[in-house]
Amino acid sequence: MASAKIAITIEPALLKQLDRLVKERRFPNRSRAVQEALREKLERLDRARFARECAKLDPQFEKQLAEEGMAEDFKAWPEY
């Protein structure tokens, strides 16, 4: 996938930490470190949003919805 070049402003202390990680070969370069950090943050935000939406669900209603029509299906299943 093609990459786009951007410019960012970063605090000196944060840049020092970033450069330390590159020097320790935890990342091949600054760009890769920033890309991975941004990707992880975006994924975490998506998971948090998903968790908030799931918390809004009513477990009893969801169970009823899942079981709706199952009684007829059970009759067609063989007995063991």
Q: Where are the domains of the chain?
A: 12-69
Per-residue pLDDT tens for 8-55? 999 999 999 999 999 999 999 999 999 999 999 999 998 888 878 878
CA-CA-CA-CA dihedral for 27, 41, 15, 21, to nearest 10: -30
d(CA 60, CA 21): 48
Q: In terms of residues, how long is the chain?
A: 80
Question: pLDDT at residue 70 above 90?
Answer: no
Higher-confidence residue of 80 and 12: namely 12
Amino acid at 5: K
pTM: 0.60
